[in-house]
Amino acid sequence: MLSLMIFLLSTLGLLFFNFFFKKYNFLLDNKSLFHKDFVSKDSVPLSGGLLVILNLILLNNNNYLISFFFLLIFFLGLLSDLLIIRKPLKKFFFQFLLVFFFLFFLDIKILSTKVFFIDFFIGNKIFSIFFTCFCLLILINGTNFIDGINTLVCGYYILIILIILFLGSQNKFIIYNYDNFFYLLLSLISIFIFNFFSKTFLGDSGSFLLSFVMGYYLINFSNFNLTLSNSISPIFIVLLLWYPAFENLFSIIRKLLFKRSPFEPDNKHLHQLLFLYLKNKRKYFLFNNTLTGILINFFNLIVFLIASKFYFNVHYLVFIIFFNIFFYLISYFYLYIKLVK
């Protein structure tokens, strides 16, 4: 009953936020930026992030300091959405400060990676904080890169939550703050439905916050289950987050090769190329945007389901990660060549 109530309140909340933002022309997707009008010319409310932060604050049983940092990450994204902070390097600098102090004050760190030469240094507190900070920043910015296609980000994290809940129920793993995890899922389902029809976007406020929170939850999930027999390998967590992480890495390498700033946005990401390819093939199909996100997440769903059978086996998980990267690169260059022609 409580779950249904939270879902209904999330849906009503989005309806109210959308009405309010459109009426007062506030927090709408800004089409003056060239990468913002890539898939749509319509002004869409950036209400998804607001729903996520309200979920985390009102339904969160974490301590107040954690909620405070959630708010700070949300407001950093909000300042970006409102174009108050425009420069990517400045946003990255503030992201670094917030993530670093979050980890430092709350003593949060990755305890093990099962990679011996990294684990050798993780025992050092300073190194472990910087390493964990690096991982979260890769996730936050990678998630921001893949945002912009309907259902892609919210759908991706819905899949991760469902896989974690499934493994937890099947293997009795400890899920840190289970209720918060589940309530977040309900809000994301509501956002997914609205986003499917281009009625809401997460915006930077939503993508920064959602990736930060999910990274935090997954670090705790990995740490809490390290000592269990047949425990979840930290490599499985890496696999769950492979797509936004590799999108970030590949984007940086690609831009450096073309002598461009890795911080500046462009329209050459895999999801954007796939969207253009589908648009060329199906010119009058209204949901090419949404179809792009569905196709990418369908691939990730298959990967996650296969990987969940080997969540403890490092060798299989590493093989699956390398297969994903290989498939990504093949798909990227195929689409790039097709579109250039």
Q: What is the pLDDT of residues 23-32, one digit of tens each?
A: 888 999 865 5
**Residue 61 pLDDT level (bands cut at 50, 70, 90):** low
Burial of residue 111 (number of CB atoms within 10 Å: 0-12, 13-18, 19+):
middle
The reported pTM is: 0.94
Number of domains in the chain: 1
Q: Could you list the residue range(s) of the whole structural domain that residue 37 is in? A: 2-340
181-213 b/e (C-beta count within 10 Å ≥ 16 → b): bbbbbbbbbbbbbbbbebbbbbbbbbbbbbbbb
Model pLDDT for residues 122-159, shown as the tens digit of each residue: 888 889 999 999 999 999 999 999 988 999 999 999 99
- pLDDT for position 168: 87
- Average pLDDT (87-98) is 95
The answer to whether residue 245 scores a pLDDT higher than 90 is yes
Give the pLDDT score at 17: 94
- The predicted pLDDT at position 284 comes to 56
Mean pLDDT of 91-120: 90
pLDDT of residue 11: 93
